[in-house]
Amino acid sequence: MKCRKKSKVLLVPYPAQGHVTPMLKLASLLVNHGLNPIIILPNFIKIDSKDVNISIMSIPDGLDQDGASPRDFFAIENVMENNMPCQFERLVRELQFDGKNDQEDAVVCVIVDLLASWAVEVADRCGIQVAGFWPAMLATYRLVDSIPEMLHAGIISETGCPLHKGPICLSLGQPTLSPQDLPWLIGNSNARISRFKFWNRTVERTRALKWLLINTFQDECHKDPNTTILNTQILPIGPLNTYVTIKNSSFWEEDSSCLNWLDKQDANSVLYISFGSWVSPIGEAKVNSLALALEATKRPFIWVLGPSWRQGLPKGYLERISKQGKIVSWAPQVDILQHEAVGCYLTHCGWNSTMEAIQSKKRLLCYPIAGDQFVNCAYIIQKWRIGVRIDGFGLKDLEGGLKRVMEDDGMSERIDRLNEMTMSKVASCKAMDNLTTFISDVCI
C-alpha cells in the first residue's frame, strides 16, 4: 500500500543546527516519495524556507523574540517541556481536522528527534503513529539506551556519576570510553544531574517506538542491520549529508570570502578549525592558548569563531594574523573541506562534521567537547584510525598532533576505505531501501 500523495508527515527536530539540518534533508527525501513533510520549529529558530521546497511551521516557544533570554540547553529544555507541547498539540489537531475534509491530506506520522522526546507524548495523545529519529551514529544511541543497564550494574550512580575508573566498552570489539566521556557529564554537578535526568526521560519516552531512523550508514549497524532494540525497528538511513543537498538551511549567514582566500594557498597546507554551532566552544583561556599556538606554527588556517566567542583572542590578534590566517563567524563548511588547500580539520567531532570530513577525505585532529562527540572521537581514533586526539591547545599539543596526523602514511588509505563504505552508491541505495521500508510500513 502506498501513502496518498498529499499525506502529511510532521517532523520535530531538536532546535539546534546539527539536528535541524539532517531533519530537513530527511524531509526532502519524503518529498521525493510524494509525501508532504512539515518541519515544526520553535519561534526562535529562523530559516529561509523558500529554496528548500519544504513546509516549515513555527509554534510559540515562550522565549522573548529580542534574544535577551538565554538559548542554552536548559532554557530550551524548559520551553520544550512546559511551553511547546500544548502549542504543538493544538497545531496537530488543526491539521488532523483539515485532513478529515480531504483524506489525501491526513497526518500519517510524526517523526520525532529523540532529543525532542516531548513530542512523542503529544503524538500519542493525538492517536498518530510516531517514529524516532536519531541524528547521530547508532553507537551513541546504544550508549544512552543502556542507562538502565549501567545503573543496574553499578557502573553509574542514580545521578549518572561514574562509580569506577575503568574504561566503558561500547560493545564487543568496539572502542572504549573513559567514564568521564559519558554524554551527560558536562558542566558543574547540578548541570550534570539535570542532563542525566533529561537522558533518562528520553529513554523512558522513546523505548516503545515502533521505528527508529538512524542518520548513520549500514555498515555501522553491520551486526544487526534492520533489527530491533526491544520492539523498535532500527533503520539506518544515512549519512544524509552524503546524498541530500539542502540550500539555505543554516541559521547564520556563511562567509564565503574564505573560499577566495583558500584559492591562494598551497595544496594540503591549511588547517581548518571549527568547534560546531551549539555549545560555547572551548572557553576564553583555551581560545587564547589556541590562538597563540596557531600563530606560532606559522601554518595557514581558517578558524570559525563567532563574535561572542572572541573575547579570548589576544589584543591585536586579527591584525597580526591577517596574512597567515582567516577568522570567520560562520563558514560554508563542506566547500571548505572539499578544497584542495585544506589538509587537516581540527574538530569537536560532531557527527555531521565527522561525516563531512569523511566525505571530503580529510584527516582529523580531534578535541571533543560535549555529548556524543566523545563517542565519535573514540571511533575516529580507535576503530577507523583517521585522526588523532589532542588534550590541550598549547604549542606542543598542536604541533605534536599535527605531526602525528599528517605523517601517518596509512591514513589516506583508511580514509578512502571509509569514504567508500559510507558515501558510495551502494551505501546510499541501502539507506534508501530502509527509508522505503519505513514509508511502506507507515502507510499500511
pLDDT band at 325 (very low <50, low <70, confident <90, very high): very high
Tell me the CB-side half-sphere exposure of residue 211, using CA atoms within 13 A.
Answer: 21
pLDDT over 50 (residue 225): no
Ranges 54-68, 309-323, 390-404: which has the least confidence: 54-68
Please state the separation of Cα 219 from the chain's center in Å: 19
Residue 12 main-chain phi, psi, to 5 deg: -120, 100
More confident residue, 97 or 425: 425
Burial profile 110-144: b = 16 or more Cβ within 10 angstroms, e = fewer: bbbbbbbbbbbebbeebebbbbbbbbbbbbbbbbb
Per-residue model confidence (pLDDT) at position 295:
97
Rounded mean pLDDT of 7-33?
Answer: 93
pLDDT over 90 (residue 320): yes
Grid cell of 77 as nine digits? 529544555
Residues 150-205 pLDDT 10s: 999 999 999 999 998 889 887 778 899 999 999 999 889 999 999 999 999 999 99
Per-residue model confidence (pLDDT) at position 251:
74
Please state the separation of Cα 120 from the chain's center in Å: 20
For residue 343, count CB atoms less than 10 angstroms from its CB and return exposed for 0-12, middle for 13-18, buried for 19 or more.
Answer: buried
Q: Pairing mode, if any, of strands 176-177 and 168-169?
A: antiparallel
pLDDT band at 375 (very low <50, low <70, confident <90, very high): very high
Residues 208-219 pLDDT 10s: 999 999 999 987
pLDDT over 70 (residue 333): yes
pLDDT over 90 (residue 380): yes
pLDDT over 50 (residue 387): yes
Per-residue model confidence (pLDDT) at position 210:
95
Per-residue model confidence (pLDDT) at position 444:
72
Per-residue model confidence (pLDDT) at position 3:
63
Ranges 100-109, 304-313, 411-420: which has the least confidence: 100-109
Per-residue model confidence (pLDDT) at position 187:
87
**Cα–Cα distance for residue pair 238/52, rounded to 1 Å:** 19
Opening angle at CA 357, ends 227 and 420, nearest 5 = 55
pLDDT band at 258 (very low <50, low <70, confident <90, very high): very high
Residues 266-317 pLDDT 10s: 999 999 999 986 655 678 899 999 999 999 999 999 999 988 788 899 999 9
**Cα–Cα distance for residue pair 336/256, rounded to 1 Å:** 9
Per-residue model confidence (pLDDT) at position 1:
42
More confident residue, 362 or 223: 362
Per-residue model confidence (pLDDT) at position 83:
94
What is the percent of the chain with per-residue pLDDT over 90, rounded to a whole number?
A: 72
Contact between residue 233 and residue 225 where contact means Cβ atoms under 8 Å apart:
no
Look over the chain and give the mean of its residue pLDDT values, rounded to a whole number. 89
Grid cell 599528517 in the structure block, residue? 406
Contact between residue 56 and residue 90 where contact means Cβ atoms under 8 Å apart:
no
Grid cell of 296 as nine digits? 606560532
Residue ranges and CATH numbers for the domains of the chain are 8-248+424-442 (3.40.50.2000), 257-408 (3.40.50.2000)
